[in-house]
Structure 1
Amino acid sequence: MTRTVYVNGTYLPETEATISIFDRGFLMADAVYEVTSVLDGKLIDFDGHAMRLKRSLDALDMAEPCSTKELLDICRKLVELNGIDEGLIYLQVTRGSDGDRDFVFPAEGTPPSIVLFTQNKPGLADSPAAQKGARIISIDDIRWGRRDIKTVQLLYPSMGKMMAKKAGCDDAWMVEDGYVTEGTSNNAYFVKGNTIVTRPLSSDILHGITRKAVLRMAQEAQLKVEERLFTIQEAQAADEAFTTSASAFVMPVVEIDGVRLGDGTPGPIARRLREIYLEESRKAAI
């Protein structure tokens, strides 16, 4: 089945979708993106993703391509047209193009480009990977300093995932000045006793939408949350660990740099938080 995608105001088959070779998203990575999960044909945490999209656009002085209501309508239409029950919606907004390549931004009034497409992911909520748990390696964090802006500059995170794959593992956590920042596409946590530890929000990490929801749910479940810097060694000595992201929800971590956590299986707190997040998110989905 050929997907229907959305490009600059038009729904069309993916085989007919085009974008200018002069688009700054292609030439300069001058673009931001969001990924929203779909469960039971409904959007998870849509409002949070829409708010973060606006924050990213504002931080880069980039124009909004449409209103939040229009964006919701587009997402729902794509879910309907592509028959998505469980999956993802990818959204990308670029600064557009004024017909040539230049380091200087296009003239004021140049319309941004907006592209959306779906990914069908049956069994997303019942991922076998979550039952098994992830094995993690650590790598140096050499990204630019504004990681709180969700740009499409994903080359190094992609390289990090390939480093993990080459090492026979599932993902990588990045380390800067001795402390964990985040995973290649997720926020990172460890658990000691009844306490969840994760790095505080700053320009050093992405302000995860799933992160915000999971930490709120953890506190409601009477778990203690500490937002502070932590090392790989602390995480290795923990009872359990996990990551959060829009596409994997709560993913247990069972090994870090070859050190097994606990008995090497997903820990009870990570498993319970995943259950709570999926249950509550399904109730609130739109």
Structure 2
Amino acid sequence: MKAIRFERYGAPEVLALLDVDEPHPQAGQVRIKVRAVGVNGIDWKIRAGQLREMLDPPMPAGTGSDAAGIVDEVGDGVTGVQAGDAVFGFGAGVLAEYAVLEAWAGMPDGLSFEEAAGYPIPVETAFRILDEVGIQRGQTLFVSGASGGVGTAVIQIAGDRGITVIGTASAANQDYLRALGAVPTTYGDGFADRVRALAPDGIDAALDISGSGVIADCIALTGDPSRVLSIADFTATQQGAKVSFQPGDKAAALRRAAALYAKGALHIPVEKTFTLADVAAAHAYSEAGHAAGRTVITVA
């Protein structure tokens, strides 16, 4: 089968389309004929070698963890799914014609493979960090860097829970945040004052998604470092804030996301699609940032 591999760390051009052996599911896993794969920041950070102290895969390494497709093989002990079912979920090195998933959920009616492929990491992260930061119905949440996949999911999940969200994004993405249900403002110098003006009753919790050096300002906005959580700034704990990076129950998060989509409360748009042959361009586009929604690679 065709699959994307890289033999050394480096720029997007180290990614190559190769012929490799097909994978097969072990107990508790399923294999899918891949239709689409979501591109996440962690994908290009691993490829570039930025995370080699924590994640140093043997070479040649695959890339991609979020995929959607049609089940064609089911491992021992797996129930509730069969060949022919459309699913989306988590695996390793899923940017290939076939991939093995370790956690998955059935796709609700109307959800495309392209959109579903952009869900796994964003929705799992969004559910987890909203729960960990302790924000409640009727309260106000600030989100730094709110226009990407995780921010898009956070805004809608929080809105479904009756939480007001104020989010920062580039000037070009202000209308995008507003359409999701957030109160938008721009990031950069003076953003904390702009947020205060939008939240006269104060900010109850803050999430740092972008990792752009905003922890001190977030603490000042909430008045309590324990009410600030980052997924991108691992120095946040030095200021008393929280850091979250360990996934929770992935399959449960996918099922929760499918249920929200089915009731019309969740939609993570695909901002740009690429083909398997254009994977280097897809990584470069994701790495450049500022996308509103998801970057997805179509495989079949």
TM-score normalised to structure 2 length? 0.29
TM superposition score normalised by structure 1: 0.30
